[in-house]
C-alpha cells in the first residue's frame, strides 16, 4: 500500500515511511491510495473468527510488505490484548467499552500499535526514532505506556502543569527509561506550539529522526478501525445495521470508523457526538469548515476547534459533501446535558459513564428513530475524570487495579518554560 499526502505536494510513501514521518513534508496527512474492499467471506465469517484473526485481515493490506507476517501477527496480538465488550443499555442502544486497556482510554490501541511498529522498524534500520507529543491528558498516558521500554525509540511528552488529572499525571510520569515527561509552565496550546515548531526546525530534523504520535500518524490512526469490527462481531441484532455514535474531538476515531464502513462493514449512519466545540455540524450544513477558538468543557479530550482528521473524512468520500451528509451527522451537547446524562444513566441503570461516553450516549438517543438501533463508544473509564463524575453522582470511585501499581512508582518529570528554544536546547545538548 502506498500513501499520498492530502495536500498533494509530497511523494508517495509506503507504510514504514509514513509512520516514520508522521506528517507529510507538505504538512498534509497521509492517506492510503486505495481503500481495500472486504471480501464477502471475511464479512460472513466475522462471527467465528477471533479478534486477532479479523484484525490481521483488516490491517495487513495497509501494511503490505513493510512488516513480515509473523511480526505483524505478534504486533497485533499485543496491541489488542484486552477486551472490547459490547453491552446492552436499552432496548435500542448498546455501549462499546473501549477503556479496558492499560491507561483506560481508547487511545491505547493506536499508541500500542504505533510503538510496536516503530520498534520493529528501528531494529531493521538501527536509527533511533524520537517521538515528540503534546498532550492534554489521555494521549500522553497511552503513548508513555505503549512505548515504555521499546528499543530504539525515545519519547518526549509535553503536558501543561496543573491541567491534567492526578491519574493522568501518574500515567505520564512513571513510564520507562526511554520516556521523558516535560511539565510545561503553560497551557496545552503552548505545548502543541512547541511540538509543531520542533517538526519544522531544520537543526532538530538534522540531528534527530523526529515523528509525531498524534492521530495524524497513520500507524496510530489505522488500527482504530478495528473497534468497529469488534463491535459488529458482538452485535446481536443481525437484521439491523447499527447507527454508531462516536464522542469526537480531532475526528480520528470517527474517521477510522468511516474507513471501516467504506471497506464494506455493515454500519448505518455515524454521529459525531460533540461538546460545544462542535465544528462538524456547521461544516455539514454549509460545506465550509471554520476553525473556532476552543472553550473548556468537562469532556476536555474533545475540546478541539480545528479537527485535523476532517481532511481524512473528505478523502474517504472524495470530498463529495452530498454523500458525506447522507452518512454523517453532527450532534452538539452542553456540559449541563452531559452531567444530566451521567446522572440519569447512573440512577436509572446503575451504569457509570465518563463525560465523553455520556456525550456519545446522549447523541445516540437523540438521533435514533423508531425501529433503529445503535451503539456508542465509551472512550474512557470514569475514574480518569474523578472530580467531575464524583460530584455529579455523589459516589466515590474506586481506583482500578490497572492504576494502583503506579502510585508506588517514583514520578519523573522535568519542569520547562513554554519556550521552543528551551526544548531545542535540551534536545540538542543533553
Ligand atoms: C481523544 C479522545 C476523544 C476524541 O477522539 P478523536 O479521535 O480525537 O475524535 C474522545 N474521548 C476521549 C476519552 C479521548 O481521550
Longest dimension (CA), the chain: 63
Phi and psi, residue 127, nearest 5°: -110, 125
Atom of ligand 1 nearest to the CA of 357: 11
Model pLDDT, residue 297: 93
pLDDT in tens, 81-117: 999 999 999 999 999 999 999 999 999 999 999 999 9
Instruction: Answer yes or no: are the C-beta atoms of 251 and 289 closer than 8 Å.
Output: no
Query: 227 φ, ψ to 5°?
Result: -50, -40
Which residue out of 249, 308, 338, 358 has the highest number of ligand 1 atoms within 8 Å of its CB and is therefore the one to mutate?
249
pLDDT at position 125 over 80: no
| 189 pLDDT tier (thresholds 50, 70, 90) | confident
What is the predicted pLDDT for the residue at 137?
Answer: 77
Q: How far is the CA of 202 from the centre of ligand 1 (A)?
A: 31
In order, the DSSP letters of 71-120 are: HHHHHHHHHT-S---EEE-SSSEEEEE---STTSBTHHHHHHHHHHHHHH
How far apart CA 289 and CA 69 sit, in angstroms, is 41
Best probe residue, ligand 1, of 96, 98, 106 (max atoms within 8 Å of C-beta) = 106
- For the residues of 136-148, what is the DSSP string, one character each? SSHHHHHHHHHHT
* Rounded (5°) CA angle 295-30-68: 125
Contact 164, 172 (CB under 8 A): yes
Residue identified by cell 526511554 is 178
What's the distance, Cα to Cα, between the start and end of the chain in Å? 38
Angle made by CA atoms 156, 160, 162, in degrees to the nearest 5: 130
Positions marked catalytic: 107
- In this model, does residue 126 exceed pLDDT 90? no
Residues 160 and 38: their CA atoms lie apart, in Å, by: 43
What is the pLDDT, as a whole number, of residue 173? 95
**Confidence band for 218, pLDDT divided at 50, 70 and 90:** very high
In angstroms, what is the span from residue 69 Cα to ligand 1's centroid?
30
Residue 334 · residue 276 · CB < 8 Å = yes
pLDDT value, residue 62: 98
CA distances to 30, 33, 51, 120, 162 from 65, in Å: 18, 16, 22, 13, 44
What pLDDT is stored for residue 411 in this prediction? 93
Confidence label for 200 from pLDDT (cuts 50, 70 and 90): confident
When pLDDT is averaged across residues 219-238 and rounded to a whole number, the result is 96
Q: Distance (Å, rounded) from C-alpha 261 to C-alpha 263? A: 5
**DSSP string over 411-429:** P--EEE-S-HHHHHHHHHH
pLDDT digits (tens, 9 = 90+) for 325-358: 999 999 999 999 999 999 999 999 999 999 999 9
Spatial distance between the Cα atoms of 145 and 63, rounded to a whole number of angstroms: 23
For residue 106, the CA-to-ligand 1 centroid distance in Å is 8
The model scores a pTM over 0.85: yes
Residue of 98, 227, 247 best suited for mutating to test ligand 1, as the one with most atoms within 8 Å of CB: 247
Q: Give residue ranges with CB within 6 A of ligand 1.
A: 105, 107, 138, 215, 247-253, 301-302, 356, 379-380
Amino acid at each position: 500500500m502506498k500513501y499520498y499526502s492530502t495536500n498533494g505536494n509530497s511523494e508517495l510513501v509506503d507504510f514504514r515511511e509514513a509512520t516514520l514521518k508522521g506528517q507529510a513534508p507538505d504538512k498534509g496527512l497521509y492517506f492510503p491510495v486505495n481503500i481495500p474492499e472486504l471480501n464477502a467471506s471475511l464479512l460472513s465469517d466475522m462471527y467465528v473468527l477471533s479478534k486477532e484473526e479479523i484484525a490481521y485481515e483488516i490491517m495487513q493490506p495497509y501494511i503490505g510488505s513493510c512488516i513480515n507476517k509473523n511480526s505483524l501477527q505478534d504486533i497485533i496480538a499485543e496491541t489488542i490484548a484486552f477486551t472490547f465488550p459490547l453491552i446492552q443499555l436499552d432496548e435500542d442502544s448498546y455501549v462499546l467499552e473501549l477503556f479496558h486497556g492499560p491507561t483506560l482510554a481508547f487511545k491505547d490501541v493506536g499508541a500500542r500499535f504505533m510503538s510496536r511498529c516503530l520498534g520493529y522498524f528501528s531494529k531493521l534500520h538501527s536509527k533511533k526514532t524520537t517521538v515528540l507529543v503534546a498532550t492534554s491528558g489521555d494521549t500522553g498516558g497511552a503513548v508513555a505506556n505503549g512505548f515504555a521500554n521499546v528499543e530504539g525509540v525515545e519519547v518526549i511528552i509535553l503536558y501543561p502543569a496543573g491541567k491534567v488529572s492526578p491519574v493522568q499525571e501518574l500515567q505520564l510520569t512513571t513510564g520507562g527509561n526511554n520516556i521523558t515527561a516535560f511539565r510545561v509552565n503553560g497551557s496545552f496550546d503552548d505545548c502543541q506550539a512547541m511540538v509543531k515548531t520542533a517538526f519544522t526546525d531544520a537543526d532538530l530534523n538534522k540531528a534527530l529522526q523526529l515523528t509525531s504520535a498524534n492521530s495524524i500518524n497513520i500507524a496510530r490512526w489505522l488500527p482504530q478501525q478495528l473497534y468497529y469490527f469488534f463491535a459488529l462481531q458482538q452485535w446481536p441484532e443481525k437484521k439491523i445495521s447499527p447507527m454508531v455514535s462516536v464522542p469526537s474531538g480531532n475526528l480520528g476515531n470517527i474517521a477510522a470508523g468511516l474507513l471501516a464502513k467504506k471497506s464494506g462493514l455493515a454500519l448505518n449512519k455515524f454521529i459525531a457526538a460533540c461538546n460545544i466545540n462542535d465544528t462538524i455540524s456547521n461544516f455539514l450544513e454549509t460545506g465550509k469548515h471554520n476553525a473556532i477558538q476552543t472553550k473548556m468543557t468537562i469532556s476536555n479530550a474533545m475540546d478541539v476547534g480545528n479537527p485535523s482528521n476532517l481532511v481524512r473524512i473528505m478523502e474517504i468520500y472524495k470530498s463529495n459533501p452530498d454523500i458525506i451528509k447522507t452518512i454523517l451527522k453532527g450532534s452538539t451537547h452542553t456540559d449541563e446535558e452531559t452531567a444530566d446524562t451521567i446522572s440519569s444513566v447512573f440512577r436509572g441503570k446503575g451504569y457509570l459513564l465518563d463525560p465523553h461516553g455520556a456525550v456519545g450516549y446522549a447523541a445516540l438517543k437523540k438521533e435514533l428513530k423508531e425501529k433503529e438501533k445503535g451503539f456508542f463508544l465509551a472512550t474512557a473509564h470514569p475514574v480518569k475524570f474523578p472530580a467531575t463524575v464524583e460530584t455529579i453522582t455523589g459516589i466515590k470511585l474506586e481506583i482500578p487495579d490497572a492504576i494502583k501499581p503506579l502510585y508506588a512508582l517514583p514520578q519523573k518529570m522535568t519542569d520547562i518554560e513554554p519556550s521552543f528554544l528551551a526544548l531545542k536546547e535540551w534536545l540538542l545538548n543533553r
